[in-house]
Chains A and B, each alone.
Chain A
Amino acid sequence: MSRAILITRPNHDLITTYLFHWSGFVIKEAQKKSVKILDLRGKKANNKTFSNYIVKHEPLLVFFNGHGNTDTIMGYDNEPLVEAHKNERVLIKKIVYARSCDAASNVGELCIKSGTLAFIGYTKKFAVGYSPSKTTTPLYDPVARLFIEPSNLIPISLLKGNIVSEAFRKSQEAMMRNFRFMLSTKASESQKDAAPYLWINRKYQVLLGDKEAYC
């Protein structure tokens, strides 16, 4: 297994475009740590390229940005990349973070049973609140930041050498800090109103598999 990170960054709709840009911070961290980066950006986040890269480069860390459901983690244009009872074994011996709806509730469990080291994901839908007045500048969106920054902490923490449980804990704590901010008088109206969705994201973010695994 190589010390590489494979990142899928489709950008076929608004929210994947948001995640595309925000994942740039994870790429910067990987560059700082001299970790090989397999950046499946845009249309490259397709099944054929994903499968080829996984086999050829054997990345230890796989970071999915894209939509999902209980049985599927998707790439560009919602093409399935990992499907339950079909190819979850492609993630054997890897640490996975899937920033996708519902993936931890079934496909994540199957991955662990098939030999994935650890899987962090969500057992319900992953919501992102955002400001419609900021969609042309996603990195300056003050609402989306509160959702995506704590989520970025998972791969960033893993790239820094922390074990999976530590990465998970840091993300949970960051979400709680943001949540408390959103309930405070310092938050804007839109930040306040987005609080319930961040609460649910945090509640249903789970860590499966080996808590001590690390990159």
Chain B
Amino acid sequence: MNAIRKHIVSDSDKNVQEDIKKLVLARIKAASDDLNISIDSTEYTKEEILKSVEKGDELGQEFIEIQMEYLRDMAEGKIYQE
């Protein structure tokens, strides 16, 4: 039973991660073409950010974390706590 529960939780985590990735991809796709981001000594175009998020590489994870942390903070009303 525990093995089944672990399997379900693990699949559920994967689904959540996939949904997060789709959300971040959608946000970045909708972003302006006249915006690049410089981070960690490199500059990234919108296309480069999209590729990395799609691939799920280290940079892609970085951008996902930034977007998700921002969205969580907004949802928690942190802008109004300042």
A residues at B contact (CB < 8 Å): 13-15, 18, 67, 78, 101, 125-133, 143, 176, 179-180, 188-190, 192-197, 199-200, 203
Contact = CB atoms under 8 A, between A and B. Distances in A.
A189 B34 contact: yes
Give the one of B37, B41, B62, B71 with max A CB within 10 A.
B41
Contacts of B41: 13, 15, 67, 78, 101
Given A125-B39, A125-B40, A197 B66 contact: yes
B3 interface: no
Contacts of A131: 34-36
A189 B32 contact: yes
A107 to B, nearest CB: 16
Contacts of A143: 35
A129 B44 CA distance: 10
A196 B24 CA distance: 12
6 contacts: A127-B37, A129-B35, A129-B36, A194-B37, A196-B71, A203-B69
A143 to B, nearest CB: 6
B35 A194 contact: yes
Nearest to A68: B41
A190 B40 contact: no
B67 A101 contact: no
Given A176-B82, A200-B66, A203-B73, A133 B34 contact: yes
Contacts, number: 76
Given A130-B36, A131-B34, A14 B70 contact: no
Contacts of A189: 31-32, 34-35
B82 A132 contact: no
Interface in B29-82: 31-32, 34-41, 43, 45, 62, 66-67, 69-71, 73, 79, 82
A128 B82 contact: no
B79 A193 contact: no
Contacts of A200: 66, 69-70
Contacts of A15: 38, 41, 43
Given A13-B43, A194-B35, 7 more contacts: A14-B38, A189-B32, A190-B32, A190-B34, A190-B35, A196-B66, A200-B69
Contacts of B71: 196
Nearest to B45: A132
Contacts of A67: 40-41
A204 to B, nearest CB: 10
A189 B34 CA distance: 8
Contact of A188 (B32, B40, B43, B70): B32
Nearest to A172: B82
A126 B73 CA distance: 18
A125 B62 contact: yes
